[in-house]
A and B are shown apart, each in its own frame.
Chain A
Amino acid sequence: NAGVTQTPKFRVLKTGQSMTLLCAQDMNHEYMYWYRQDPGMGLRLIHYSVGEGTTAKGEVPDGYNVSRLKKQNFLLGLESAAPSQTSVYFCATRDRGLRQPQHFGDGTRLSIL
């Protein structure tokens, strides 16, 4: 999807390792979101940000941390990865204004052994 780039696309970790997922956008959107999607299920919101320097918890924040030091980047961190965090992670952005749709990246597939 144009405008939202997620890095890396795939990663395999061992239990206890740490890593950071990067979401970069070039649409100058204020809002950014991190979701996880487990097999056969819809997306669940992990954390989100309503602007540079701000973050907030979503539905399933435990085990994750985020940072939004620059407007165009939203980082998702796993300090000590667990097998339960094996999932596909999606980043999304949204422009300011009522009822603006979210724009999603193509996801990061993360496996934790």
Chain B
Amino acid sequence: LAKTTQPISMDSYEGQEVNITCSHNNIATNDYITWYQQFPSQGPRFIIQGYKTKVTNEVASLFIPADRKSSTLSLPRVSLSDTAVYYCLVATLGNMLTFGGGTRLMVKP
């Protein structure tokens, strides 16, 4: 399973755009990138996933360059409630997920 590397923590302020970059240098052809969000005392919650280029939903955007060795989760205009841990994962077609340590995002007023 492809290993991912992402920053341990990030700080932001309300209303700002937050970009969290994840590297996955040994991603395989059939793998896809998926992001989860976890609040304290809750299970992870699916945010977005993609294979290449750009994917956007009502919560976030995901940018994946052509070589797919990295990806960037973009959260527009964050609020205090976006304070959470964000996990970048590379999933195989069988959807076996390997979680790393995640990025702890702290949004300040």
Q: Give the B-binding residues of A (Cβ under 8 A).
A: 1, 4, 31, 35, 40-45, 48, 59, 90, 92, 94, 98-107
Contact = CB atoms under 8 A, between A and B. Distances in A.
B interface, how many residues as a size bin? 20 to 34
Contact of B97 (A4, A45, A103): A45
Interface in B47-81: 49
A62 to B, nearest CB: 18
A48 B96 CA distance: 10
A98 B45 CA distance: 18
A61 B101 CA distance: 20
Contacts of B97: 43, 45, 102
Contact of A101 (B34, B41, B93): B34
B96 to A, nearest CB: 7
Contact of A99 (B42, B95, B101): B95
Given A1-B43, A105-B43, 18 more contacts: A1-B42, A1-B45, A35-B99, A40-B101, A42-B87, A42-B99, A43-B44, A45-B96, A48-B96, A90-B44, A99-B93, A101-B34, A101-B46, A102-B95, A103-B46, A104-B43, A104-B44, A107-B41
Contacts of B95: 31, 94, 99-100, 102
Query: 10 closest A-B pairs (Cβ-Cβ)?
Result: A104-B43, A42-B99, A101-B46, A43-B99, A90-B43, A42-B100, A104-B44, A105-B43, A106-B42, A106-B43
Interface string B86-103: 010001010111111110
A104 B43 CA distance: 5
A46 B22 CA distance: 25
A102 B44 CA distance: 9
Looking at B49, B96, B97, B102, which has the most chain A CB atoms within 10 Å of its CB? B97
Given A1-B45, A43-B44, A106-B43, A98 B101 contact: no
Contacts of A45: 96-98
